[in-house]
Structure 1
Amino acid sequence: MAAEQIANQNNEIANVKIEKPESEFKQMWYALTRNKAAVVGMAIIGFLIFLAVFGKFLMPYDPNYGDMSINKLTPSAAHWFGTDEQGRDIFSRVIDGTRVSLSVGVAAVSFALVIGTLFGAIAGYKGGKIDTIIMRFMDIMMSIPDILLAITFMAALGRGIDKAVIAIGLVSIPEYARIVRGSIMSIKDSEYVQAAKVIGNKDGAIIFRHILPNVLSPIIVRATLGISSAVLNTAALGFLGLGVQPPYAEWGDMLGRARVFIFEAPYMLIFPGLAITITVLAFNLLGDGLRDAFDPKARH
């Protein structure tokens, strides 16, 4: 009888299914999708990317073609957002501006991310005088407002879309450098880093193979939020006439050219202004959602 009971217990144990713990990525994705604001941000960003890629097939008119006989038309069935002072279709230009603004924003953040990560990694890992020199220089840059520093760089580099990418990227470097430095300093003395040193790995391999993969979370969050700042800075430079130049359609440039018609044709400012606002809001919502998703404490 006892043997039968033991056999039954063994069968029950064998039939019990051991649930595998969910992967870290699945947990983060689940936390992100539960955040309604982040989901809205992702949906808007997805739509903006769609417009940037396929917008040329959706534009009813050439965004750079003007007809002075139809300038400053109010929104209508023929021109949904109206026309500007040169008779160009604002709806087509707003769509075309999506490609320009997102391209500049992503390129500037990518540039700042690479350079900032490199400087931050060197400063955090090496420490000492190297850390002091690099971070004091970053502190000097951070003490100057972003837009003023970007204007200074644009004055030195000249106008143009490529110059705007460099200027906005240079302004953003200190943020990534400080984040990477702080993250590396918190883990550079951990056991797995010391083990990598003992077995003879070089400093470069330790930084890029063992340390940086473990500090990706704050970098990704900052990069997502950084795109919104880059789009805003691009618009600010364009508004001042220093950023993206014609014939490119850029939201800030559209605002700058339309500001003299604010009372005569306010729609010329409303639609590019809404495009900037919605884009910046979307990346901020996604960035906040990613920050919570990456934080294990915020998931529960």
Structure 2
Amino acid sequence: MGKDQISTSDENLLQAAEYVEKPESQLKVMWETLRQNKAAVVGLFIIGFLVLIALVIWVSELLGLQVLPYDPNYSDMTQSFIPPNGAHWFGTDQLGRDIFSRVLDGTKISLFVGVAAVSISLSIGVVLGAIAGYRGGRSDTIIMRIMDMMLAIPSILLAISFMAALGKGLDKAVIAIGLVSIPEYARIVRGSILSVKENDYVQAAKVIGNSDSRIIFKHILPNVVSQIVVRATLGISTAVLDTAALGFLGLGVQPPFAEWGDMLGRARGFIFTAPYTLIFPGIAITITVLAFNLLGDGLRDALDPKSRVK
């Protein structure tokens, strides 16, 4: 019995030694943890499928090819309000346009606005948060008070205000949605920098003469990348919702281009006579937002060392 216990103990020690000698990379550990989260995998699969649809449609437009069943912007009043059938899977709208083709075509617009808006807010928010957290003092006070004022206003109202100043259009919507989300990234980066800037390795970098910008971007920000990645993933879902809200109000993408929020806004008067004109764009928005939220939650668990099972 004693020998068996000793043998088992030795095997465990050998396994532990092998684990120490061959440490897994952080990326591999994150991926393995993410794979165990079924909800996150479902979200990642849906996002990958949506990205594939958007890329195929975008490339086909560049090459002058027609991959959609119908031209999403072609109007034929003689085909208006046709219920879902074999020829028009999602039916047709009030102008006789195929809803299935328009929902698919709207994928590339929603994803583009989401990614572009997050890129704007992320780039500006990281810089402002880094300056506020690292320099402190008056810079911190001025920057964060401005961020607090922006956060005090509901995001959609602030986006509408920016749209009123900038005007209507897809590019204006990207800028407005991007500006609205800047405070969230600035606060995340500032808080993270405040928690690590007094660490020994940061002080050592100062002593050997590294510039402030080098210390921030090489020694501090890599330690807060996980929080930024999670927030950016969730931020895309918020941007998709804001895009749909602006489109619903007629401030986003302008006709005849297909955008889910604009489709909802123009079909709201037919909710009782032709409910399918609202149902399918609404489902597209719901699935997209849910997918990014599922992936964001999964990334948060995977990038949090405390949640990993050893």
Please state which band the TM-score falls in when normalised by the shorter chain: over 0.9
- Using the TM superposition, give the Cα deviation of residue 18 of structure 1 relative to its aligned residue in structure 2, in angstroms: 3.3
Aligned to 1:10: none
Distance 1:223 1:246 in 2: 29
Distance 1:139 1:70 in 2: 51
Deviations 1:148-181 (A, max 9, x none): 0000000000000000000000000000000000
Residue 225 of structure 1 corresponds to which residue in structure 2? 234
**2:8 matched residue in structure 1:** none
In the TM superposition, residue 60 of structure 1 has moved relative to its aligned partner by: 0.4
Q: 1:209 aligned to 2:211?
A: no
Taking the aligned partners of 1:181 and 1:196, their CA distance within structure 2 comes to 19
How far residue 289 of structure 1 moved from its aligned partner, in angstroms, is 0.2
CA contact (8 A) 1:100 1:248 kept: no
Q: Show the counterpart of 1:53.
A: 55
1:29 aligns with 31
CA contact (8 A) 1:83 1:90 kept: yes
2:227 and 2:181 mapped to 1: Cα distance? 15
Q: Within 2, Cα distance between the matches of 1:187 and 1:252? A: 42
Is 1:40–2:48 an aligned residue pair? Answer: no
Specify the SS of the correspondent of 1:248. Answer: coil
- 1:225 and 1:17 mapped to 2: Cα distance? 39
Give a deviation string over 1:200-233, Cα, whole Å, max 9, x none: 1111111111111111000000000000000000
Tell me which of 141, 146, 162 is aligned to 2:150.
Answer: 141
1:272-291 alignment, distance < 5 Å: 272-291=281-300
Superposition RMSD in Å: 1.5
In structure 1, the partner of 2:18 is 18
Structure 1 equivalent of residue 5 of structure 2: none
* Mapped partners of 1:17, 1:127: distance in 2: 45
After superposition, give the CA deviation of every residue in 1:232-264 in whole Å (9 maximum; x if it has no partner). 000000000011111221000000000001001
2:78 is aligned with 1:76:
no
* Distance in structure 2 (CA, Å) of the matches to 1:17 and 1:201: 38
Q: Identify if the C-alpha distance between structure 1 residues 195 and 152 changes in structure 2 by more than 3 Å, giving closer, same or farther.
A: same
- Give 1:17 deviation, angstroms: 8.0
Please state if 1:256 is matched with 2:258: no
3-state DSSP class of the match of 1:80?
coil
Count of residue correspondences: 287
Aligned to 2:10: none
- TM-score, normalising length: structure 1: 0.93
The TM-score with structure 2 as length reference comes to 0.90
Taking the aligned partners of 1:21 and 1:117, their CA distance within structure 2 comes to 31
The gaps in structure 1 that reach 5 residues or longer are: 1-13
1:239 aligns with 2:248: yes
Q: Partners in 2 of 1:79 and 1:258 — Cα distance?
A: 17
Runs of 4+ in 1 over 6 A off after TM superposition: none
Q: Distance in 1 between matches of 2:209 and 2:301?
A: 37
